[in-house]
Amino acid sequence: ERAGIGVRRLRGTGLVADLGAPRPDRRIALRADLDALPIREQTGLEFASQTDGVSHSCGHDVHTTVLLGAALALKATEQRLVDAGIGARLVFQPAEELMPGGAEDVVAQDGLVGVDRIFALHCDPNLDAGQVGLRVGAITAAADQVEVTLSGRGGHTSRPHLTQDLTYALAKVVTDVPAVLSRRLDPRAGAALVWGSIHSGGAHNVIPASGKVGGTLRMLDAGIWEGVERLLEAVVHEVVKPYAVQAEVTITKGVPPVVNDAGCIDALTAAVTGTGAFVAPTPQSLGGEDFAWYLTHIPGAMARLGTRSPGGPTYDLHRGDLVIDEAAIVVGARTLAGVVFSAAAQLAGTPALGGVSPLSAVADR
């Protein structure tokens, strides 16, 4: 607002802002996620989180800063947007870390109305600052939460034959369900069922009457993901049938995979090379990302923003010691600002309109 950019506030902490032509022929959206994580920061930096137990350990503070930088660059060249009939929408989105994410809420509040294409960046500590990872097709996975609850007759561990030995049945769920599922799905789906928690019993000599195991089911194929619930339930019941226990399967649907549009990757490639940064091939990730919901409405793409200091250590996301090379912020801001022009030119079937003014020109603002 201090830069003269009008905003519309969304529920919670989100907001959207429009730049450029009031009634554009083409409108390009740029999205940044905002939320922090319940992780204690351990970087020792002078600007570390001042809220104990909460930090930006997935780089969302960088995403927000990058989008703010792109906004300033676009504002400084707004007349060019107006003259070319281009609109830019800035989407600051909360709740990416929650299931099914905050993207659907943005859509429900008309955040995509009038938008033709949407783009985003995500920090990647496996790439050096100055590199941007691009990939056509699925770049992240669908991600669901799975919980299997078993119940049966418990008893004394000295007499397991008088029980249904629920702990043993739980162990078979942990080992056999992923194995059987892997043989019922096309391996090209990239499916992975991984358990993260087991809860059962409270004494060494008591076979419990109930227990549960929880985990995540991830896959890269959106079509198979949409129909996997029935298959998973059938496999669970098949595995526990010999032990005569009761099984309840709860699947909390999360997010579909982010599937990058080929044309949008071309637009991002033009934007990255226009900044002087380097395009790097990037592997698929089995992480979930609610940016995928936008792509069920309009074409778009997500890129990986390299954040590792060249020659420095490699950190990982969702860790309290994550440190970002701040040179990545300039690369990210220029890339997002540039893709507004390259994507709009692509839609119009015209040569690229060139870059935006250097960020240094608006830094003092």
Amino acid at 20: G
3 state SS of 137: strand
| Domains of the chain: residue spans and CATH | 7-139+258-361 (3.40.630.10), 142-255 (3.30.70.360)
CA distance 22 to 334: 23
The residue ranking higher by pLDDT, 16 or 102, is: 16
Amino acid at 174: V
- Please tell me the least confidently modeled range out of 31-40, 149-158, 265-274, 280-289: 31-40
Strand boundaries in 34-136, DSSP class E: 86-93, 117-128, 131-134
pLDDT tens-place string over residues 169-180: 999 999 999 999
pLDDT tens-place string over residues 136-156: 999 999 999 999 999 999 999
Whether the pLDDT of residue 360 is over 80: the answer is no
Distances (CA, A) of 330 to 94, 130, 134, 276, 302: 23, 9, 18, 11, 17
Q: Global pTM?
A: 0.89
Torsion of CA 171, 177, 183, 184, to 10 degrees: 160
CA distance 13 to 152: 46
**Nearest alpha carbon to residue 129 among 312, 343, 306:** 306
Whether the pLDDT of residue 364 is over 70: the answer is no
pLDDT tens-place string over residues 243-259: 999 999 999 999 999 99
pLDDT band per the 50, 70, 90 thresholds, residue 353: low
Write down the residue that tokens 């919901």 correspond to.
293
